[in-house]
Amino acid sequence: MGEFELIRQIFMPLAGQSGSAALLLGPGDDCAIQRLAPGRELVFSIDTLVEGVHFPKNYDAEKLGWRSLAVAVSDLAAMGADPECFTLALTLPEARREWLEAFAKGLGAAAKSFGIALAGGDTTRGPLTLSIQVHGSVPAGQALLRSGAQPGDLVCVSGSVGDAGAALKFLDHPDPSPDVAVLLNRYHFPSPRLELGKALRGLASAVIDVSDGLLADLGHILDASGVGAQLDADLIPMSESLCRMMGRGGLRAAVVAGDDYELCVTMPPQSWRSLAETVKCQLTVIGTVVVGHGVRMDHGEDLNGTGGYDHFGEVQ
Ligand SMILES: [Mg+2]
C-alpha cells in the first residue's frame, strides 16, 4: 500500500463521525462542501504548529492529535461559534503507520468531543508541521470580537489559569505526583470553552482565548478596544494543584504563561448578573476595564517585588 493510501485509510473514518449536518461533502473530491444555514455567518481560522517550536520534539502522537485540534477550536469558542468542520495539512518526515494511527486516534477523539468533522486535507513530506483550519458558524452579527470593551465593564476569566504553563517543566517527568499529573493533563488535553463562548453571545463586550498568557491576551482586547484594565492579583483563579506545587510563585504562571485555552471576557455588570444563574461557576471577575491603556494589577508584588504590577505588553 502506498503512503497516500495508508493516510487516506487512517483519516477517512474521521470525516463522518461528528454527525455534523453542515458538512455536505467530505474528503475525496477536489473540495469539500459546507452548508451554511440561512441567517448564519461563517467563522474561520487557521493555526500552524511546528515541532520544536509549538510542541516538544518527539511529542506523543495521540496527545498531539488532541492538542492541535483543541488549540484551533479554542479560537471558535472565543468567537462564540458553533464548530462545523476542519481541514488538516500534515507535513511529515515519514509516513509511519504506528504514528499516524496514534495521531488520528487523538485527533478523532477531539473531533468527536468538540462536534467538528474532518472535511479534507493534504499531506506532504518535510519537518513535522500541522496546519488546521477550523470552520464554525454564528447567528448573523453575533460573533464575539476583541474590540468592544468599554470602561466600567468587568474583566473575567473562565476556569483557572497557569496549569498548562507550569506543566512545561514536567513534560519529561517519569513519575509525576497527582498534582503534577493535573498540570500535565491541562497541557496535553486542553478543553475549548465552547459552551461558555455560546452563552456569552449578546452579553460579552469582548472575548479572547488565553493562548499566549492572560496579560498578553487581555492586552489584545485592550489594544483593540482602546481601553485599559485594573486587575487584582488576589482574584486570579488558580487550581489547588498549581497553588500546592508553586505557592504564590504560581501567580507568574497564571498571568504570563499561556496554553490554558480559557476565555478572557469583558462584559457590562448587568451581563454578569444575567449570566450568574447559568455559568457563574466558570467565570471569575478579576478586575474592571478603565479609561487609558495597559494593565495595572494590585497585589502583584510576587511578580516583580514592588507594590504593584504594570503591564504594557512587554512581558513574554
Ligand atoms: Mg486565539
Mean pLDDT of 78-98: 95
> Is residue 212 annotated as involved in ligand binding?
yes
> Is residue 193 annotated as involved in ligand binding?
no
Is a pLDDT exceeding 80 seen at residue 77?
A: yes
User: Measured at the alpha carbon of residue 136, what is the angle toward residues 45 and 224, in degrees to the nearest 5?
Assistant: 50
- Contact (Cβ atoms closer than 8 angstroms) between residue 298 and residue 239: no
Partners of residue 48 on adjacent β-strands: 131
Q: CATH assignment of 154-311, given 3.40.50.720, 3.90.650.10, 1.10.3720.10, 3.40.50.20? A: 3.90.650.10
| pLDDT tens per residue, range 200-227 | 999 999 999 999 999 999 999 999 999 9
| pLDDT tens per residue, range 151-173 | 999 999 999 999 999 999 899 88
| Domain ranges across the chain | 3-139, 154-311
Tracing cell 504506528 back to the chain, one arrives at: 98
Can you read off the three cell numbers belonging to residue 206?
A: 469582548
| CATH code, 3-139 | 3.30.1330.10
CA of 58 to the centre of ligand 1 (A): 25
| pLDDT tens per residue, range 231-257 | 999 999 999 999 999 887 889 989 998
> Is residue 121 annotated as involved in ligand binding?
yes
pLDDT of 258: 87
Q: Where does the pLDDT of residue 147 fall: very low under 50, low under 70, confident under 90, or very high at 90 and above?
A: very high
Residue 120: alpha-carbon gap to chain centroid: 22
> Is residue 211 annotated as involved in ligand binding?
yes
pLDDT of 308: 45
Cα distance between residue 136 and residue 204, in whole Å:
19
Average pLDDT along the chain: 90
CA of 102 to the centre of ligand 1 (A): 26
User: What is the DSSP-derived secondary structure letter of residue 27?
Assistant: B
Higher pLDDT, 15 or 52: 52
CA of 75 to the centre of ligand 1 (A): 5
Kindly compute the dihedral angle of the four CA atoms of residues 154, 157, 160, 166, in this order, to the nearest 10 degrees. Answer: -110
| pLDDT tens per residue, range 187-200 | 999 999 999 999 99
pLDDT of 15: 80
Instruction: Tell me the angle at which helices 97-114 and 3-11 cross, rounded to the nearest 10 degrees.
Output: 30
| pLDDT tens per residue, range 290-315 | 999 999 998 876 565 444 455 544 43
Mean pLDDT of 113-138: 95
User: What is the DSSP-derived secondary structure letter of residue 81?
Assistant: P
Lowest mean per-residue pLDDT among 21-25, 37-41, 264-268, 279-283? 279-283
Q: Which residues contact 315 (CB under 8 A, 6 or more apart)?
A: 213, 215, 216, 256
Please name which of 64, 52, 49, 55 lies closest in space to residue 105, comparing C-alpha atoms: 64
Can you read off the three cell numbers belonging to residue 179?
A: 498534582
Mean pLDDT of 109-118: 94
CA of 263 to the centre of ligand 1 (A): 9
Whole-prediction pTM: 0.93
> Is residue 173 annotated as involved in ligand binding?
no
CA of 73 to the centre of ligand 1 (A): 9
Cα distance between residue 205 and residue 87, in whole Å:
30
| Greatest CA separation for the chain | 66
> Is residue 232 annotated as involved in ligand binding?
no
pLDDT of 279: 77
> Is residue 122 annotated as involved in ligand binding?
yes
Q: Which residues contact 134 (CB under 8 A, 6 or more apart)?
A: 44, 45, 46, 47, 69, 72, 73, 75, 76, 83, 85, 86, 116
Please name which of 133, 111, 118, 105 lies closest in space to residue 48, comparing C-alpha atoms: 133
CA of 79 to the centre of ligand 1 (A): 9
Is a pLDDT exceeding 60 seen at residue 29?
A: yes
**Alpha helices (H) along the chain:** 3-11, 13-16, 61-78, 97-114, 163-167, 178-188, 194-199, 214-225, 240-246, 250-256, 269-279, 301-304
> Is residue 75 annotated as involved in ligand binding?
yes
Cα distance between residue 162 and residue 233, in whole Å:
13
Is a pLDDT exceeding 80 seen at residue 35?
A: yes
